[in-house]
Structure 1
Amino acid sequence: MTAMAPQPVHHDDDNNEVVLLSFAMEHLEGALQLSQEMSWPYRLEDWAIALELGQGFVLRNSAGTVIATAAWWAYGETHASAGMIIVAKAAQGRGHGARLMDALLAAAHPRTITLNSTAEGLALYERRSFVRIGVVQQHQGVPHERHQAPPASLVRAMAPSDAEAVARLDQQGTGWARRQMLDRLVQAGDGHVLVRDGEPRGYAISRRFGRGYVIGPVVAESAVDGRALIEASLACLGQVFVRVDTAASSQLGDWLESIGLRQVGDAITMVKGPHIPPAGPARMFALANQSFN
């Protein structure tokens, strides 16, 4: 991340100086405390990977405490995602979220930006011309039983030689160029590839995240194939705490509930800028997380 000079000071209701800074490694502990205050399950390692792959801003008060964060991830010159937007409870209602978002939008311009919003954030984003395009459902829990892996002729472990095919499938399913992020997620976890007629037709990555593991991204051409990729990941993970974030339209929600990954929340997917649905035929069936999309 490039360094950024402190911006003009704003004052909150208690006359504490609040300064806008580029998000740097020194802010990670403060960011972790913010997410813990909100009961978000990020570990310090999750924040570190996010910052390694992206950039953003923090607000810091005169005591040196991080009171707000916002991050974004560039996917080439045309698209980006935004997330990890948090304002400390004691600092809410003072325009800090708006200040962060305006800085983020200026930095990411002119890219189309996608994010997943809580109900509380909708008004902030809608005032900045974000529009709703879908719903993401958060499923999590410990599976009721161990899962059998699909036949090796259908789903196999991802190999280094699959990197180009995985990036191509991901771009089909998202419309984004994010090879660097995919490479880092594979490095942090394990990948599977679904093969049909000798060609990779879908992929899944699972890795440590939050309270246990997350399975995502998952990209495939059908819900049946998406389920097979998730089952391959579950077979490797065993009966541990697992999270899967999937679109309400994915047709996977009922199945995830049936295996013990109950829906515990949802978020509104929003976009600012031209939104062209991905070309396919591969589609996104599970997110890397709700910030990366």
Structure 2
Amino acid sequence: MTAAAYPVGHRDNEDVVLLPFARSHLEGALKLSQEMSWPYRIEDWDVALQLGYGFVLERAGTVIGTAAWWPYGDTHASAGMIIVAKTAQGRGYGARLMDALLASAHPRTIALNSTAEGITLYRRRGFVPTGVIHQHQGIPRQCHEPPRSGLVRSMATSDFEAVAQLDREATGLERRRMLDRLIRSGDGYLLQRDGIARGYAISRLFGRGHVIGPVIAETPTDARALIEAALADLGRRFARIDTSATSQLGEWLEGIGLQRVSDATTMILGAQSPAAGPARTFALANQSFG
């Protein structure tokens, strides 16, 4: 998907061309993220492209910039994977990619998680900070046991509608397509009380190991139970969890060996989606998908 109002295919005086993100760009995008020490695999780029839309900047056939966005219904979207090669930074290429992305996603409200370096670019386009995300990762210090409460079980195919509804109530977003893809490629966990879905988590291969997220729950205690169920299946394998600074999970995550390694600023352009609750987001699918 591209926006007719933006000059896709236009070449500047350095012979850099803006193109719709296609499968042929995956290898170039992977090399670009490796240059930035972002731990994406080619499979992670592929899933992102399957679920969303984006643009690349090419110079002489080499990808020097990427940006992508993912629609959640007709009113909202998330954006991410916004990268410019180190040798091409400072020349307005990030702005060029971002303007193409905004034109393509218009008129949706857009959320993203920004590095410190990107905040000025996004502020100039009207994004406002709304929170902070802490990235926790590492190998757990010991193997975990599944929660003994009996509240958490493995997710079944028949649970999808309940999970999608729970996610929509917690986030205010229509994310069925993303959830279906993540559940099919990972392991899902459902927390129930009195036969009613109250929380869920998904664990899947991503980056250096596994990412646990989204995690949707009503309380930090429930979120921890869902994460513990996922960790019990992972054993002492590398795990990553991206959680809000207000989640009340950070101290516990560090205590089990998942150290806080970086932060990102959540920013929004437009009206934030109303969430019905009472469940809320305790961990992201990743910092791009939200």
Structure 1 segments of 4+ aligned residues over 6 angstroms from their partners: 2-5
Q: Tell me by how many angstroms 1:198 deviates.
A: 1.0
2:283 paired residue among 251, 267, 286: 286
Q: Tell me by how many angstroms 1:7 deviates.
A: 2.4
Equivalent residue for 1:95? 92
Deviations 1:100-151 (A, max 9, x none): 1001001101100000000000000000000000000000000000101013
The one-letter code of the counterpart of 1:272 is L
CA contact (8 A) 1:175 1:279 kept: yes
Equivalent residue for 2:135? 138
> How is 1:1-293 mapped onto 2 (pairs within 5 angstroms)?
6-11=8-13, 16-61=14-59, 63-151=60-148, 153-293=150-290
Q: Percent identity?
A: 68
Secondary structure of the corresponding residue to residue 27 of structure 1: helix
Closer, same or farther in 2 for the Cα pair 1:6/1:103, shift >3 Å?
A: closer
The one-letter code of the counterpart of 1:286 is A
Secondary structure of the corresponding residue to residue 246 of structure 2: helix
The one-letter code of the counterpart of 1:233 is A
The one-letter code of the counterpart of 2:154 is A
Secondary structure of the corresponding residue to residue 227 of structure 2: helix
Total equivalences in the alignment: 288
Q: Give unmatched runs, 5+ long, in structure 1.
A: none
CA contact (8 A) 2:173 2:273 kept: no
Secondary structure of the corresponding residue to residue 204 of structure 2: strand
Q: Tell me by how many angstroms 1:277 deviates.
A: 4.5
Secondary structure of the corresponding residue to residue 69 of structure 1: strand
CA contact (8 A) 1:3 1:22 kept: no
- RMSD of aligned residue pairs (Cα, Å): 1.4
Closer, same or farther in 2 for the Cα pair 1:3/1:131, shift >3 Å?
A: closer
Secondary structure of the corresponding residue to residue 224 of structure 2: helix
For 1:77 and 1:2, the matched residues in 2 are separated by: 15
Q: TM-score, normalised by structure 1?
A: 0.96
